[in-house]
């Protein structure tokens, strides 16, 4: 088995156009950000917007332009140190918790860096070397990942500000606080199912190789858990009942004082939440988000269900069209999920769905060769798999085999849950 290719397919005939589109999307996400908004790092897990802008560019410069474009002139030799994220193979780098210290180069210079690299990439992509095209495709998917992080990191930053800045202005919220659809259960047979991405389309290395997995008969909820249901959990003592929690989860409840999802505040007898549209009332009918794996698991215990495995989830999602409330909807918040009578809805978009699977290698997995091999494999410990994308995920970036992963206590992503249970 040939293992040094993340994608074993013909390159896109119009990768240049795709490149321009993805890069331009990133720029547009930064519309309206000040130099200040773009520089601050609000916690170790988050990165400044400026860093995201530069790091995604560094990826192209480091893995594409420097090795493959003859005569390419590096924009600034200091940037290799400043904007490497975690690639040990790419040399020394600035400490992660110090990313917010980089007030200079300015945002303007970083945009100039982007233009410089874009021009060179434009030359490079005119050639048709498959190796390059595949790396460039990886670079674009990498950039799309950072588009989502850019949004979640900004939300975290703005949530630290007592004045509650809104990233984008108020939206009409017509479905607000209508009743959610009732939760129903869809049954799935067990058996040997196909898991993982086909070599014929782009995917990250951790999504393969495609293989058989055994799934036992199960049922999956028609939609994700709503904020209104979460409020019932709170009101029923969910956060003060240790028997519902994993031991590490309960320790976290106590040490971090959790009593509601991240960003929620109870004011004047209503639940409010910081969002990318400012401080807003919680929409009871919409999916709950900003909950950790520990909270998701405790909720499932409370209601007498469980989280699905990632194999169950993928099996259920495999034939579902990849559409939903993604970043392109412009909504920037989960929306109530409707119409799950005949099959589960909302599998893609709205909120990432925690699964009960640890992020571990699939049978036969080997990382990519070289430094890009550090992309996923070295994170295969201590993290849980999430599936399906969120309202902050770019279109074209999500698919049924996509494996996102975070530590079980993390809450700043758009993470929610869908229930599962054993079939009799």
User: Which residues of this chain interact with a copy of itself, rule CB under 8 A?
Assistant: 34-40, 42, 50, 78, 81-82, 86, 88-89, 94, 98, 100-107, 157-158, 160-163, 165, 192, 211-214, 216, 242-243, 245-250, 293-294, 297, 356-358, 360-361, 363-364, 374, 378-382, 408, 422
- Which helix or strand (DSSP H or E) is residue 218 part of? strand 218-221
Are the C-beta atoms of 283 and 333 separated by less than 8 Å? yes
Torsion of the alpha carbons at 404, 408, 413 and 417, rounded to the nearest 10: 80
Closer to a copy of itself by CB, 236 or 422: give it.
Answer: 422
Least distance (Å) between residue 27 CB and a copy of itself: 18
State the minimum distance, in angstroms, from the CB of residue 248 to a copy of itself. 5
Instruction: Please report the DSSP string for 346-376 in residue order.
Output: --SBSSEEEEEEE--PPTT--PPSSGGGGTT
How far is residue 150's CA from residue 135's CA, in Å, rounded to a whole number?
22
Tell me how far apart the alpha carbons of residues 312 and 215 are, in angstroms, rounded to a whole number.
7
Do the beta carbons of residue 385 and residue 269 sit within 8 Å? no
356 vs 404, beta carbon nearer a copy of itself? 356
Nearer to a copy of itself, 79 or 348 (CB): 79
CB of 6 to a copy of itself, least distance (A): 18
Q: Minimum CB separation from a copy of itself for residue 335, in Å?
A: 27
Nearest CB to a copy of itself, comparing residues 89 and 339: 89
CB of 422 to a copy of itself, least distance (A): 6
Comparing CB distances to a copy of itself, the nearer of 334 and 367 is: 367
Residue-by-residue DSSP string for 72-113:
PPPS-TTHHHHH--S-GGG-----GGGGGG---S-HHHHHHH
Nearest to a copy of itself of 168, 211 (CB atom): 211
* Cβ atoms of residues 226 and 286 within 8 Å: yes
Pure H helices in 257-370: 293-303, 310-317
Which of 361, 363, 368 shows the shortest CA–CA distance to 4? 368
CB of 215 to a copy of itself, least distance (A): 9
Nearer to a copy of itself, 162 or 257 (CB): 162
Q: How far is the CB of 19 from a copy of itself (least distance, A)?
A: 28
């Amino acid at each position: 088995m040939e293992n040094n290719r993340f994608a074993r397919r013909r390159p896109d005939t119009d990768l240049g156009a795709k490149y321009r589109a993805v890069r331009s999307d990133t720029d547009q996400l930064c519309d309206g950000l000040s130099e200040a908004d773009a520089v601050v790092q609000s916690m170790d897990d988050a990165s400044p917007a400026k860093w995201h802008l530069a790091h995604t560019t560094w990826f192209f410069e480091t893995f594409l332009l420097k090795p493959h474009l003859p005569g390419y002139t590096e924009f600034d030799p200091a940037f290799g140190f400043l904007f490497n994220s975690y690639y040990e193979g790419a040399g020394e780098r600035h400490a992660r918790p110090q990313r917010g210290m980089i007030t200079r180069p300015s945002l303007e210079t970083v945009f100039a860096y982007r233009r410089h690299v874009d021009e060179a990439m434009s030359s490079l992509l005119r050639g048709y070397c498959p190796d390059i095209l595949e790396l460039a495709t990886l670079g674009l998917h990498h950039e799309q990942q950072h588009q989502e992080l850019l949004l979640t990191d900004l939300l975290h930053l703005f949530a630290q500000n007592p004045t509650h800045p809104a990233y984008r202005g108020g939206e009409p919220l017509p479905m607000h606080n209508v009743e959610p659809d009732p939760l129903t259960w869809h049954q799935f047979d067990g058996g040997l199912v196909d898991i993982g991405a086909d070599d014929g389309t782009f995917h990250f290395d951790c999504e393969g190789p495609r293989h058989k997995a055994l799934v036992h008969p199960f049922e999956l909820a028609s939609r994700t858990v709503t904020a209104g249901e979460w409020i019932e959990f709170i009101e029923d003592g969910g956060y003060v009942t240790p028997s519902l929690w994993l031991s590490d989860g309960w320790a976290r409840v106590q040490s971090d004082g959790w009593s509601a999802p991240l960003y929620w505040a109870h004011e004047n007898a209503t639940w409010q939440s910081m969002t990318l549209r400012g401080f807003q009332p919680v929409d009871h009918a919409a999916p709950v988000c900003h909950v950790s794996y520990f909270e998701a698991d405790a909720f499932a215990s409370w209601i007498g269900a469980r989280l699905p495995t990632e194999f169950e989830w993928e099996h259920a999602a495999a034939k579902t069209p990849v559409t939903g409330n993604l970043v392109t909807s412009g909504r920037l918040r989960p929306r109530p999920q409707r119409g799950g009578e005949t099959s589960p809805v909302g599998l893609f978009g709205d909120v990432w769905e925690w699964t009960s699977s640890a992020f571990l290698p699939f049978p036969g997995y080997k990382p990519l060769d070289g430094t890009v091999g550090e992309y996923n494999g070295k994170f295969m410990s201590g993290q849980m798999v999430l599936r399906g994308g969120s309202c902050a995920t770019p279109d074209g970036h999500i698919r049924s085999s996509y494996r996102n992963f975070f530590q079980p206590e993390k809450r700043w992503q758009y993470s929610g849950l869908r229930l599962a249970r054993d079939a009799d």
